[in-house]
Amino acid sequence: MNFEELKDFLDEKTDVYNSSEFIQDDPVQIPHRFSLEQDIEIAGFLAATISWGNRKAIIKSADKMLDMMGNSPYDFVMNHSENDLKSIEEKSIHRTFNGEDFAYFIRQFNRIYKENESLEDLFIIKNPEANFYHAIERFRADFLQAEKHRSHKHVSSPYKNSSSKRIIMFLRWMVRNDNRGVDFGIWKNIDPKYLSIPLDVHTGNISRKLGLISRTQNDWKTVLELDEILRKFDDKDPAKYDFALFGLGVTKELF
């Protein structure tokens, strides 16, 4: 396919997959259970953090975390006791993300929300930045701070050439308003043009099959390679193509 044919194909598939039906089988359903902005942010960040592996297992593990917080994430973050966290630390959560990690995240959320109304404040893009490369690292520095902790591995670093797939997916949820009921668009101070694709096995394989990228690794350099072409397709909303690439990958339509 030439440039125009490929753009038309991806626009068509984006229109198909970027629909409310997408929610029922995806971790994005977790923050969709809430209306308070801080609840959406916390539930969304936690669901995104454990988003690797089988989607049904991810949703089940996210349900477990919500239950531990009494299904009121923000209230629990701000008003929990140390005994609450000690109880959580003993639990298993999702694969290598354990109760100790979960309790650590809750403590960090508590500190951050005492200083900020929204997590958006930690991800603001600064001129002349073209993407979230530096913003994610600023967030990591604030969220994780200087102390050594096992939980650091769960917040990936683009400075270390990670694709930072889970954080980028969370950012898509918060920043992009798709008017389809999937992405929230509750962050009003960050332009969707800065978003990238959450690069994983599915989106990476499909992108290579379509000739969008040539690199074989799913790393930050490949995120930038994919950015370059997708922003030519739509420089205002490049992340919308995540729906097309992920949907094509899951359905194996091109294989």
pLDDT tens digit sequence for 165-192: 999 999 999 999 999 999 999 999 999 9
Mean pLDDT, all residues of the chain: 95
What is the pLDDT, as a whole number, of residue 252?
A: 74
Ranges of each domain in the chain: 22-196
Please write the tens of the pLDDT for every residue from 151-163: 889 999 999 999 9
Q: Which whole number is the average pLDDT over 226-242?
A: 98
Q: C-alpha distances in angstroms, 80 versus 10, 118, 209?
A: 46, 19, 48
pLDDT greater than 70 at residue 146: no
- pTM of this structure: 0.96
Pairing of strands 92-94, 97-98: antiparallel
- pLDDT band (50, 70, 90) for residue 193: very high
Give pLDDT, residue 255. Answer: 59
